Structures are given as structure tokens and as C-alpha cells.
Chain A
Amino acid sequence: MKQILAVDDSMSMRMLLRASLTAAGFKVEEAEDGRAALEWLDNNSPTLVITDINMPRLDGFGLIAELRARDRFRDIPVLVLTTESSPEKKARAREAGATGWIVKPFDPEKLAAAVRRVTH
């Protein structure tokens, strides 16, 4: 089963991601910020990372920068959770190395569609 790492400092948001993605047939792991995500990723290779942007310790853009600097994760798809869909925000996310984005609030189908847009 495809494994997705959901990174968000909000437990409820992680729960929502877990519930939606589990229903769509994925296995979900959670991390509460970028730092925790990197620790988990040291020993795991998920299919996809979904990350919030604003988080304590290491934010989403910082996490992506760390991932892209590692050979193992240079080509892993990363979706960022954003509350805005403005072209500027999208450009910023892309610049940071994100593959795509999910605009919060998301509905389960849109989330699954976004996930499928970046996973085989």
C-alpha cells in the first residue's frame, strides 16, 4: 500500500488528512513538524509527503529544502498545504521545490485528486 507522510503541527489537520487518505486507500504516517518529519524520513521512504507550511522548529519550505538536498528525496513528490491559491503562493511553493499544493480547506475528493496527480 502506498505510504504518505502527513506533516502538520495541527493534530486535527493531521487527523483529517489521515481520515481522507485512508479512505482513498493510502497508508498514512504523521509528523508534527519538519524536524520530526526528517527524523522519520531517515528510516523510511514514503511515496509522497504532504506538508503544512507554517510549523514551529522547521517549516514546510525548510523541510522541502532539506529533502531536495538529499539524493534519496530529490524526486519525491511533495504537496504543500496552503490556505491560499493565489498564483504568487503557488510560485513560491514551486520555487521552494514543492510538486504541487492542496488548498485548505480541502474536501476528500480534491485531496485524493491532488495526490493522484503526483503519484503513479
Chain B
Amino acid sequence: MAPEDIQQIFLQECEEGLASAEEALLTIKAGAHDQETINTIFRAVHSIKGGAGAFGFLALQSFTHHFETVLDKARDGELLLDAALTELLISAFDVLADHVAAIRGAGDAPDDAAMIDALRTALTIKPAAGAAAPGPQAPALSFDLGTMMAALSQEPDPDPSGIAPSDATASDGDDTSDGQAEWEIMFAPTGGDLINGAEPLLVIRELIELGGRIVSVNADRVPPVDAFDPAAAYVTWRLRLPGTLDEARVREPFDFVSDPASVAIARAPGSPVADHVAPRPQTDPAAGGRPVPAAEPLPDNVVRLERAEPVSRPAPPAAAAVADAKAKAANGATIRVDLEKLDRLVDLVGELVITQSMLSQRLLSSGMTRLEELTDLDQLTRELQDSAMAIRAQPVRSVFGRVPRIVRELEASTGKRVNLEVEGEATELDKTVIERIGEPLTHLVRNCVDHGIETPAERIACGKPPEGRLRLSAEHKGSRIVISVSDDGRGIDRARVLEIAVKRGIVPVDAKLSDEEIDQLIFAPGFSTAQQVSSISGRGVGMDVVRQNVQALGGRVTIQSTLGAGSTFALALPLTLAIVDGMIVSVADQTYIIPLTHVVESLRPERGAVQSTGFGNRMLNVRGSYLPVLGVGDKLGVAGAISEPAEAVLIVVETEGLGTAILMVDEIIDQRQVVIKSLETHYQQVEGVAGATILGDGRVALILDVEGIVALRDGTMPRLLAS
């Protein structure tokens, strides 16, 4: 229906309203009225007022407002409905009828000034009433039918969430309040915000749509689950909004909040406009330098991107810098990209790297060795690859951010006191790694507080300060990121660990183990050194899960511990899951990649050192441990592989579930990073094969799934696994 048609209906309603009001007024004049009679008039005038506003008939709106105010008081009995008032209402009705006639096009708008004065005068019996009715807020309520028509003629918006476009709001007040300090908002919803269908999170959503970011969320008051009152609100939010927004716009989202005292809005001191060009989670100085939660929870399949800075550019003049900052503020410094698109990019870059390396290999073999362009291409490809990988990278802050809370909970439940130090939370890691590292990290932290750090009394007795120290850090080390959790607690009591391991049958009674090997026993399935099983971390299922999760990511866990002085658990993680450090080996005419994370060492045994144990099984004694020797050729059904161990190369590999084993290959060719290509996408999953890669000479090489190979029975062709 077109807006003109709706307007026609409105005019019709005005006529109907006037007719019923007139009838009611006559009833009142005849003295035969009741409460409903005056209600009828009130409703008629009220409806006309509403429509008048909607269609932009401001004079009509203003007049009905005064008329309605008097009717309201008469209805409530605050004004005595005597003969004088009845006459006034009838005169006012006549003016209203003239107004309606005027908008129908029959005559000019009446001069209603005298009547408005009369209506106001009628209210002066209660002066307060006049103050409460300051006339129609015409400027604030003014409404442009043209705007509305334009809005109505648009195609229906399939996504209602697009209603409050942030680009429209970002420009709000841009011209008037440029360079203003950011808005700082504290929002502590009350129980009143959770009833009658209200939802405070919608307020947060609206603020974020306005360009806001959550600085911190205080969940300290959230009680344990069994004490949780669903009708109570426990969480307090601190947000920042761009200073370019005007105050009314900032307050608007809180319109429906039940208790005005639950909202505090102020300009944040010392936050220049440039501050909000990077609305990503950051350490907040006001929060004591602690990491703060991510600015906005993102769906799993979306990764937050940072605006890339140009590598170098001439320093712009001050004015240009301001304009630049302004443009950034308007555009937002982050964009959201579907993870699939990003993975496609990473994949394409991988292809490019392979093609580039093939090209350079071919050119080199043709004798074109000193091509400067080739060196440049090589450099650019590497940079492109790094940049593509960096897009998937996120600061570990998001996982580190959970730790203070965990530590506080542990302090409360154990009675221990812990000083948490966090370092390197800006270090970036692949999104997938970040997602999967949370649980192991939490477990390590719990373990350190639960088993490592002593109670204040114990600490004082050993001459330590009563507060334990827990240090969480992340740093780059070569092509890996090392996340460490260290404490200054009691350290690992190796004698006790060994005793338990023997008791549980994890190691034989006469085992001779190095300190490092004893420490690693903590990660053995079913091992727990807690004197009593604690509710926090001591069910004996924790630490082996930590190692499993970390190894599944291609990482490693190491322990350094000194009895009485504390322990450090270090997780060495790959920067990315798209590239693997691999050992390139040959078996007959095939080339395979063994991921370096599994490789312990390589060796060539003396003739006869490898002993047969029957049924085709062979073992080699490596420094006291008998390890199975597995021919990769036998395992994968490749004919022509070297079968004499003394002529082959043995590679000692570690697996998660199957212990240490030896893979026998013909030769080690090289060691380098390779781009992982999924075999599944191009062919199908094959037992013993983790993926594929394309080597510089164009040949396809399979990446071995070491775990799978060790598990494979000899002499059988690997099965094709249903994909």
C-alpha cells in the first residue's frame, strides 16, 4: 500500500473520530454522560494526534496535543467537567474539525492560538500540569513524509540486522565533534532488565553495531551454577564508543533499560579520536595491564582481520594524518571475512609457492642462474605466504584472557595465593591452534596451582613468600611459538613420580630413567601424583590429554623442574597448520615426507644389530630400549625398497598412542617446509597417509601419517578409507 493511500485512510479515520467525539460532546452537554463518554473523545483526539504526527501535519499535531491534555485531566477527574469546561471542549472540537478540513484541502488551517491559550488556561488550576505538557516537541518529533516514502519504496530488507548500518552512524556528528574523546560506558543490567521479554545483550549488540567495543566484562559476581538465580543479572560491561557519536545516539540503546542508575556514560579522559581506529581487543591500561576479552565474540567460521598497514610511506603532513585517522574511524579498522575465503587464499598462495619453486628449479637447471627477477619473485612469494598465514593468526590474548579468572577460582577453592604474571599476549598464532590450545593451557594452569604451588603456610615454612608466582608467557622461537606456564612451587618430586609409575605398572620396577623421562611420566595415561584426587585437576585424566591435544596440533610439551623451586611446562606449537616441517625421504622410486615433529633421530645400524623376533617382526636395541623396526615400503606395499637395515636409513619416530618406533627408508633426501595439500579433497583418505605436497621438481609426495603407519599391519596394501 502506498503512503498516499494510508494517508487517505487516516483522513477517513479523522472523520469517524470527529463524528463519535461530536456525539459524545452532545451527550455530555445533555448531562447524560459517563466515564466512557469522555474516554471516547479522548481516544478520538489521541488517534488524530498520532496520525497527524506520522503524516507530518504539525499544526494539527500541536493542537490535538493541547486538546488531549485537557481531555486527559477531565477523564482523570482532575478537571471538573462543568458547563464551562464542556463549552470549552465543544469550541475546541470545532477548531479541530477546521484543522481536519484544512488538511483535506477544504479551506485554510484555522488560527488556533486563542483556543490553545484557552486550553492552557483551563489547565492552570494545576500549574504543574502545564509544566508537564510543554507542547508538542515539534522539532524533536518532526517527521518528513518524503523520507518515509523513500524508505517505504525500498525493497524489503531481507536481513533485518542491516537496519542500523554502522556506516550511517559512524558519520553521525562527524562534522561537529571531530577529535572528541571516546565515550566510556559502564552498564550493569539489573534483574529488571531480564523480565518482560527484555534482553540486555541486545543493548550490547546495538552498541557494537554503533562501532562500540567491549573493554572489559566483569563476571566476578556470577555465582556457582547451583546458586544461580535466572531472574538476577550478575555481569557488568565496560564499553567504549567512538567519540564522533553524539550523546543522544549513545544513550538511545539504553532507552528500555529499567534502572537509569545501571548505566553510566561519560567521555573517556585522554582518549584521542585515533584511539578507536583499532577496535580490537587490547590490553587496557585502566584494567591494570591485564588482558581483556575479545572485543566481540565471533562465530567460529569467521576470523577477525586487522587492517594491514602499508609497509612504508612518506610521513604525511599532520592534516593528512588527521584525515587518514578519520577515514579509518569511518571505515572501521577491521573487516570480517568468511573463513572459507581465507582458506582458499592460503591454499592459492600455497599453489603459488609450489609453482614458484618449480619454476626456479627449471630455470636453474637450464643454466639461468643469475636472474635477479627470480630472486625477487622468490622473496615476494615468501612474503606473500607469510602475509596470508598472518591473516589467520590471532593474538594468544584471547586464550590468556581466561586465565586470571581460572586462577581466581583456584585461589578461592584451594586457599592458595597466586600472583599471575602474563607476558607476550600479543604473540600471534594460527586461529585453529588458538582454538584448540585453550583446554590444554587451562589444564596446565590448574595443574600448576593445584599441584605445584604450596599453601601460604607451607610456603612460609620453606622461606618463600606466601603468594605463589604463576607466569604465563608466549614467544616466538624459530618457526614455533612457545607458550610456557611456570610456577615457583614445589617442583616435581621425581622419586615419588617414579614410585607411582612403578606402582601403576607404567614402567618396570628396574627401569633406569633419566630425569627428563621421569618428568614425561606425568603425561602417561592414568598417571596422577595428587595425594588425594582433587576436584580441580587430579582425576588423572588431565595431563595425558594435554599432551595428546598439543601433539595433535603438531606441537610438543616439555617440562623443566627443580625440586622445591618450581616447574615450567612449555608448549612448542607450529605457527600454522598449512605448512609442515618435513624430512623428505625416498623408498624405492617413491618420495615421502615424514613430519619433523615425530622425528627423534636417524641412524644406520651395524649389520646384524636388527634382530628378528619372528613373524617378520624386527627389533633394534636403541640405548637399552627395544624398538620395532618398520619398513615403510612393507607397510605401504611399495616393491623394491631396501630390505637390509644396514644399507637403509632408520628413523626413530615418536607417536602418541603407540610409543616410539623406527621407520626404515632407503635414503634421506632433504629437510624443508612443505605446503600441506589435502589428499582427501583430490582423491580420498588413505591409511598411513596424512596428506600430500608438491615438490619443487613438480613431483607429488605423500606426507606420512606416522601414527597410522606404525599401526598398519605389514604386507597389506593400505586400505582406502571411506571419505
Which residues of A are interface residues toward B (Cβ below 8 A)? 2, 9-13, 15-16, 18-20, 22-26, 52, 54-56, 68, 75-78, 81, 83, 85-86, 88, 94, 97-101, 103-109, 112-120
B157, A104: Cβ atoms closer than 8 Å = no
Assess A113 versus B198: contact at CB under 8 Å? Given A83-B46, A108-B151. no
Flag if A23 contacts B256 (CB, 8 Å).
no
Give bound CA distance, A3 to B292, whole Å: 38
CB pair B253–A94 under 8 Å, yes or no, is no
Structural contact, B9 and A100, CB atoms closer than 8 A: no
B:137-152 near A, CB below 8 Å? 137, 141, 143-144, 147-148, 151-152
Q: A99, A101, A116: which contacts B206 (Cβ < 8 A)?
A: A116
Please give 19 more A-B residue pairs, beta carbons under 8 A apart, in addition to A9-B43, A25-B157, A116-B164.
A10-B47, A11-B13, A20-B152, A23-B156, A25-B156, A26-B160, A75-B196, A75-B197, A77-B196, A83-B49, A100-B256, A105-B54, A109-B164, A116-B163, A116-B202, A116-B206, A117-B203, A118-B199, A118-B256
Q: How far is the CA of A97 from the CA of B202 in the complex (A)?
A: 18
Report B-chain residues with C-beta under 8 Å of the C-beta of A12.
6-7, 9-10, 13, 51, 54
B202-218 Cβ-contact flags toward A at 8 Å (1 or 0): 11001000000000000
CB atoms of B255 and A109 under 8 A apart: no
Known: A12-B7, A100-B256. A24 touches B157 (CB 8 A): yes
* Contact between chains at A13 and B50 (CB < 8 Å): yes
Q: Determine which of B152, B160, B198, B203 lies in contact with A108 in the assembled complex, contact meaning CB atoms within 8 Å.
A: B152
CA A53 to CA B161, docked complex, whole Å: 28
Chain A residues whose CB sits within 8 angstroms of the CB of B53 once the complex forms: 83, 104-105
B residues in contact with A54, CB < 8 Å: 42-43, 46-47
Please list 5 pairs of residues, one from A and one from B, whose beta carbons are closer than 8 Å in the complex, sorted by A's number. Answer: A10-B13, A11-B9, A25-B158, A88-B132, A112-B164
Determine the main DSSP class of B at the interface with A: helix
Q: Is B258 positioned at the interface, with any CB of A under 8 Å from its CB? A: yes
- How distant is the Cα of A83 from the Cα of B138 in the complex, in angstroms? 12
Which residues from chain A contact B82 at a C-beta distance below 8 Å?
A: none
| Closest-CB distance, A37 to chain B (whole angstroms) | 15
**How many whole Å from A90's CB to the nearest CB in chain B?**
8
- Nearest first, the 9 closest Cβ-Cβ pairs linking A and B are A105-B53, A77-B197, A12-B10, A100-B256, A105-B54, A25-B160, A15-B6, A112-B163, A104-B50
Looking at the complex, which one of B3, B156, B159, B258 makes contact with A94 (CB distance below 8 Å)? B258
Give bound CA distance, A19 to B197, whole Å.
Answer: 24
With contact pairs A15-B6, A78-B197, A105-B54 given, residues A20 and B151 touching in the complex (Cβ less than 8 Å)? yes
Q: Tell me which residues across on chain B come within 8 A of A100, comparing CB atoms.
A: 198, 255-256
Distance in Å from the Cβ of A72 to the closest Cβ of chain B?
Answer: 12
CB neighbours (8 Å) of A97 from chain B are 196
CA–CA, A75 and B198, complex, Å: 8
Counting chain B CB atoms within 10 Å of each CB, the highest count among A26, A78, A118 belongs to A118
Give the complex CA separation of A98 and B258 in angstroms.
Answer: 11
* Cα separation A100 to B197 with both chains bound (whole Å): 10
Partner pick for B1 among A15, A25, A118, CB 8 A cutoff: A15
Q: B535 at interface (Cβ–Cβ under 8 A)?
A: no
Say yes or no: A23-B9 contact (C-beta < 8 A), given A83-B50, A99-B256. Answer: no
Q: Give the residues in chain B near A83, CB-CB below 8 Å.
A: 46, 49-50, 53, 65, 68
B554 CB to closest chain A CB, in angstroms?
39
B252 close to chain A: CB less than 8 A: yes
Select A10's contact among B50, B65, B163, B255, beta carbons within 8 Å. Answer: B50
Q: Bound state CA distance, A25 and B143, in angstroms?
A: 22
Say yes or no: B6 contacts A86, CB within 8 Å: no
| B154 touching A23, Cβ below 8 Å | yes
User: B51 touching A10 by the CB < 8 A rule?
Assistant: yes
Taken together as a complex, chains A and B put the C-alpha atoms of A43 and B723 apart, in Å, by: 47
Shortest CB–CB separation between residue B555 and chain A, in angstroms? 39
Bound Cα distance A109, B132 (Å): 28
User: Does A116 lie within 8 Å of B161, measured CB to CB?
Assistant: yes
A98: chain B residues at CB < 8 Å are 196
**In the bound complex, how far is the Cα of B610 from the Cα of A50, in angstroms?**
83
- Closest partner residue, chain A, to B193 (CB atom): A99
State whether B196 touches A107 (Cβ < 8 A): no
Given A113-B252, A117-B202, decide whether A19 and B3 contact each other with a Cβ distance below 8 A: yes
B202 touches A56 (CB 8 A): no
A107:B143 contact, CB within 8 angstroms: yes
In-complex Cβ contact of B54 among A16, A25, A85 (8 A): A16
A117 to B147, CA, bound (A): 22
Pick from B65, B151, B161, B202: contact of A23, CB below 8 A: B151
Q: Which residues of A contact B10 (CB under 8 A)?
A: 10, 12
